[in-house]
Amino acid sequence: MPRSVSPPPKRRRLNFNTYATLQIGPEKKPVAVFRDVLDRHCAYFRMKCEDKDRPHCELSSLDYDAFAIFLHEHELVLMEEDEERQDLHGIRKWTLLAKLYTIGTVLYAPVLKNKIVDMFLQGFRGGPKFSMSDTKLIDIIYEFSPEGSQLRHILTDHYMIKLGGGYWLKNNRDILPREFLADLAVGWSIMGMDPRKLLDPAKARHCVYHDHDGGVPDCK
């Protein structure tokens, strides 16, 4: 995030009388939101929407459904109970989370991104396991999260360790995203094929995968 962006004021009372209209997605669907709430949580709006007379802010690259969830990001309520029961393999859940991560990247919302990273890491650390196949999870993360995302980084680190003799990679290389294969190759090149230098998401500190710019303090 650009260093010129100042952190939001911490003590000022929020103003619920002023709102902005955001135009979300390729269809530019209008969403009315309280300007102060977005200013408080997103550096993007502090940079792009500083002009109080500006009638709207266009965000055509974002997914409308995921943005609706972003507005409630402090709770991170993804689905109702009935929907969650139907989402047996977590495909919808992780598609939404990857899209939310992208929104957090576009809007410079590191706290949201770090929350999603922590949820993702739980799948490698004895928390709720991923119910879908390995290849499906990789497809989702590489389709819906941006290049260079920590979600991709976690997957790359995990599979650099897991691949071992390479049988899984050999059997699945034709259906894996090219970007994933390229990230593996770059990762191995950087590490010099030395397994002692590999970072294991199951054991590494959460902070290693967090964003700490924009006034977000380092993990304790």
Q: What is the mean pLDDT of each run of 10 residues along the chain (220 residues)?
A: 49 54 80 65 64 60 78 51 63 85 84 88 80 90 95 94 80 94 91 81 90 70
Decide if 45 is inside a domain: no
How far is residue 206's CA from residue 10's CA, in Å, rounded to a whole number?
26
Decide if 35 is inside a domain: no
What is the pLDDT, as a whole number, of residue 1?
46
Decide if 87 is inside a domain: yes
What is the pLDDT, as a whole number, of residue 74?
45
How far is residue 59's CA from residue 63's CA, in Å, rounded to a whole number?
9
What is the pLDDT, as a whole number, of residue 214?
59
Helix axes 178-191, 150-162, angle to 10 degrees: 70
Output the pTM of the full model.
Answer: 0.71
What is the pLDDT, as a whole number, of residue 46?
64
Decide if 41 is inside a domain: no
Q: What are phi and psi of 166, to 5 degrees?
A: 90, 10
Decide if 22 is inside a domain: no
Rounded to the nearest 5 degrees, what angle is found at the Cα of 191, between the Cα atoms of 219 and 123?
Answer: 45
Task: Look up residue 209 and give its DSSP letter.
Answer: G
Decide if 25 is inside a domain: no
Radius of gyration of the chain (CA): 19
What is the pLDDT, as a whole number, of residue 78?
47
What is the pLDDT, as a whole number, of residue 158?
92
How far is residue 44's CA from residue 187's CA, in Å, rounded to a whole number?
31
Length of the chain, in residues: 220
What is the pLDDT, as a whole number, of residue 73?
55
Three-class SS of residue 13?
A: coil
Domain count of the chain? 1
What is the pLDDT, as a whole number, of residue 164?
66
What is the pLDDT, as a whole number, of residue 77?
46
What is the pLDDT, as a whole number, of residue 17?
54
What is the pLDDT, as a whole number, of residue 48?
60
Domain range for 173: 62-209
What is the pLDDT, as a whole number, of residue 11?
44
